């Protein structure tokens, strides 16, 4: 059975719940929104959570807790805007827990989204010991397009190019899932990438990433579809769909979510999913131009991303630096 983990947000520390949910439910801001989310937890106890237009909050929200473990550290950082109106955002979270008897158990999560570049990023790292990390980036907008000279019977072919690139690995019993969803109008793509055996062809080898069902699932009546690459580490899809008429308002959305567990407490060995560089939404029209509710959708396509995209090693480095700073302050105190 397919395991849908989107929107499964771990519980937050009681003291942090007020912070996370005080701002209410995110609004769509003229039908566009970007969201990001990062979290780490052990045994259902959250150590660090960072959100932007997520976790029930509008704008940024952060929470940290130490799970009752002496010597534990946790950090939560990211976009600090509180209006929820930005076109790009990122969040990261880190924890390090002595977990007495098993050595240091660590994990980190990262998520980012950018409407202007059409890019998403998500990465999670754990070193075992029951640590679970999550990272998410998502956006939605509405595209407006009127083909020049079109009549009520004019048929216009529109092309999308959706790409995903990253790595996934596990050396300890874990439970990793990357979910990737792209859509425009009634046309979409969904891929579930697991870190080992699961339902469907190509998912039978332990610690070998696979796409559930062997290939992403497509929805809608496409004129043509093709995959120049179709692996757990690289998916490159091109699709053409037809529009009939004079003008169109097309909802677009994209989501990338990584959820990775490090296995039973005491297990060792790194597990990670690094898709921070990146998922990309490409969309082209044959004639004329399109606009969007946000006013920025794909205006920087092909240019540099406006959100940082750390690799897995950088995620740990950032977290360890934060942990060292926390220990130093405790020592001086």
Query: Which range is least confidently modeled, 10-14, 119-123, 205-209, 265-269?
Result: 10-14
Query: Can you tell me the distance from the alpha carbon of 88 to that of 86, in angstroms, rounded to the nearest whole number?
Result: 6
pLDDT over 50 at 11, yes or no: no
Confidence grade of residue 144 (pLDDT, cut at 50, 70, 90): very high
Give the integer Cα–Cα distance in Å for 7 and 155.
Answer: 38
Q: How far apart are the first and last CA of the chain?
A: 52
Measured CA to CA, the distance from residue 143 to residue 195 in angstroms comes to 35
pLDDT of residue 318: 46
Which of 319 and 153 is assigned the larger pLDDT? 153
Is 80 exceeded by the pLDDT of residue 325?
no
Q: Which is more confident, 321 or 53?
A: 53
pLDDT at position 209 is 85
Pairing outcome for strands 33-42 and 131-145 = antiparallel
Full-model pTM: 0.83
User: For 166-186, what is the mean pLDDT?
Assistant: 83
pLDDT > 50? residue 27:
no
Neighbours of 189 (CB within 10 A): 23
Phi, psi values for residue 220, rounded to 5°: 105, 160
What average pLDDT does this structure show over 183-202?
Answer: 84
Q: What average pLDDT does this structure show over 205-210?
A: 78
Q: What is the average pLDDT across 119-146?
A: 91
Instruction: Tell me the range of 15-24, 139-148, 253-262, 311-320 where mean pLDDT is highest.
Output: 139-148
Across 37-51, 127-141, 179-193, 296-310, the highest mean pLDDT is recorded for 179-193
pLDDT at 129 over 80: no
pLDDT tier, 101 (very low <50, low <70, confident <90, very high otherwise): low
Cis peptide before 278, with omega less than 30 degrees from 0? yes
Per-residue pLDDT, 264 = 53
What DSSP letter does each residue of 148-206 carry, written as one string? TT--TT-EEEEEEEEEEE-EEEESSS-EEEEEEEEEETTEEEEEEEESS--SSTT--ST
Return mean pLDDT, the chain: 79
pLDDT of residue 12: 35
Q: What is the pLDDT of residue 68?
A: 62
Q: What is the DSSP letter of 326?
A: H
Report the percentage of the chain scoring pLDDT > 70. 72
CA–CA dist 76, 323 (Å, integer): 11
Asked if 287 contacts 279 with a C-beta cutoff of 8 angstroms, the reply is no
Question: Is the pLDDT reported for residue 212 higher than 80?
Answer: yes
pLDDT of residue 110: 97
Would you report the helix, strand and coil content of the chain in percent, each value rounded to 5?
10, 50, 40
What pLDDT does residue 188 have? 98
pLDDT band at 115 (very low <50, low <70, confident <90, very high): very high
pLDDT greater than 50 at residue 240 = yes
Residue 126 has what pLDDT?
A: 84
pLDDT of residue 153: 97
Taking residues 148-174, report their average pLDDT: 88
pLDDT given for residue 20 in this prediction: 30
Does the pLDDT of residue 326 top 90, yes or no? Answer: no
In this prediction, residue 163 carries a pLDDT of 98
């Amino acid at each position: 059975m397919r395991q849908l983990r989107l929107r499964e947000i771990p519980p937050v520390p009681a003291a942090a719940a007020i912070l996370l949910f005080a701002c209410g439910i995110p609004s769509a801001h003229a039908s566009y929104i970007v969201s990001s989310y990062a979290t780490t937890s052990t045994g259902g106890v959250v150590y660090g959570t960072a959100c932007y237009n997520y976790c029930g909050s509008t704008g940024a929200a952060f929470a940290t807790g130490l799970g009752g473990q002496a010597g534990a550290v946790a950090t939560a950082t990211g976009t600090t805007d509180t209006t929820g109106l930005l076109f790009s955002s990122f969040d990261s979270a880190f924890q390090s827990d002595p977990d007495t008897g098993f050595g240091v158990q660590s994990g980190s999560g990262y998520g980012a989204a950018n409407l202007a570049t059409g890019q998403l990023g998500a990465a999670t790292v754990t070193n075992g010991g029951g640590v679970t990390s999550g990272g998410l980036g998502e956006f939605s907008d509405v595209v407006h397009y009127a083909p020049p000279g079109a009549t009520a019977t004019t048929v216009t072919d529109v092309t999308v190019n959706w790409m995903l690139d990253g790595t996934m690995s596990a050396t300890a019993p874990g439970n990793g899932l990357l979910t990737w969803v792209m859509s425009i109008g009634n046309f979409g793509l969904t891929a579930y990438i697991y870190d080992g055996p699961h339902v469907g062809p190509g998912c039978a080898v332990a610690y070998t990433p696979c796409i559930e069902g062997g290939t992403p699932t497509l929805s809608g009546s496409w004129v043509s579809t093709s995959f120049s690459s179709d692996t757990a580490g690289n998916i490159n899809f091109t699709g053409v769909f037809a529009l009939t008429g004079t003008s169109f308002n097309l909802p677009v959305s994209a989501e990338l979510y990584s959820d990775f567990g490090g296995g039973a407490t005491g297990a060792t060995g790194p597990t990670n999913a690094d898709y921070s560089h990146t998922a990309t939404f490409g969309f082209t029209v044959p004639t004329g131009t399109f606009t969007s509710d946000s006013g920025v959708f794909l205006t920087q396509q092909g240019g540099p991303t406006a959100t940082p995209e750390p690799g897995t090693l950088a995620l740990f480095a950032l977290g360890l630096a934060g942990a060292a700073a926390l220990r130093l302050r405790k020592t001086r105190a």
